[in-house]
Amino acid sequence: MLLKHMHPDQLREAADRGDPLLVPAGCLETHGPHMAIGHDTIIVEEICDRIAEHLRVVIAPPFDYGNTGYALGGPRDGTVDPDYNSFGLFVKSILRNFIEMGFQRIFVPIVHQGMDGPLALTFKRAAVELSFEMVLDDGHPRGWWGDEVLSKSAPRFGGIKVLPMVLPAASPPAGGDHAGYNETSFLLATRPELVDQSKLDDNAPWYCRQDPEKNSWTASAEHGRIMVDAVVKAWVEMLG
């Protein structure tokens, strides 16, 4: 169920039951002439929707404006890069509220720039800082480290997991790239109306043509469906 659709009593029930909260995170970044600039958020949202077909989960509104470092273009190409510190503070404050809502298992699936990119590191840093700070917020004295406090604070300490959308169990067949064979196929399988391969021509950027056989031109909904199924299965097995 979508968090923003819930009534307060439904929110309480879900949190008390221990339902996982999925927090899609991505960015606006140019993805070649043929793909929606929001791909890296859209595909995570599509995967979350499909996980919800198998398991009881709550899906938070997405973080659409993650950092890009302008690695592949600027605003005129569709790429947005917020101030790092401001975005970090925003992320941390919302994650704190998710914990305060009572969610004990919070997952942030990320596809953009991998797990060592600024987007993933922003969420990881916020998660780690909250783990430690909220133990003190709970009134535990300095020198609190130990099994007793950690077990009591378990829902808060380490309760936020920042993970690759493509979990290791799903790869292969699923893989990553930038707007190439894999990402174009992911979008063709989930939101085909947001892809137009006829816009690919000789001017298409390097990342569209990284492999002579597997590239933006040869991407297909069929390959996308195989990857989506593997990714969803890995998440359902991990959460279930």
Binding site for Zn ion (CB under 5 A): 40, 183
* Minimum distance of Zn ion from residue 54's CB (angstroms): 25
Measure the CA–CA gap between 158 and 235, rounded to whole angstroms. 18
CA distances 41 to 24, 67, 217, Å, are 7, 12, 22
Helix (H) or strand (E) holding 21: strand 21-22
Residue placing its CB nearer to Zn ion in the complex, 113 or 153: 113
* Minimum distance of Zn ion from residue 151's CB (angstroms): 39
Residue placing its CB nearer to Zn ion in the complex, 43 or 126: 43
- Quick one: which of 11, 98, 223 has its CA closest to 108? 98
* Minimum distance of Zn ion from residue 119's CB (angstroms): 11
> Under a CB-based contact definition with an 8 Å cutoff, are residues 177 and 140 in contact?
no
* Minimum distance of Zn ion from residue 133's CB (angstroms): 32
* Minimum distance of Zn ion from residue 183's CB (angstroms): 5
Closest residue to Zn ion in the complex (CB): 40
* Minimum distance of Zn ion from residue 6's CB (angstroms): 30
Residue placing its CB nearer to Zn ion in the complex, 19 or 183: 183
**Cα 57 vs. chain centroid, distance in angstroms?**
15
Residue placing its CB nearer to Zn ion in the complex, 46 or 183: 183
Residue placing its CB nearer to Zn ion in the complex, 106 or 120: 120
Residue placing its CB nearer to Zn ion in the complex, 30 or 153: 30
Residue with tokens 């021509």: 201
> Under a CB-based contact definition with an 8 Å cutoff, are residues 106 and 158 in contact?
no
> Under a CB-based contact definition with an 8 Å cutoff, are residues 89 and 4 in contact?
no
Measure the CA–CA gap between 5 and 60, rounded to whole angstroms. 10
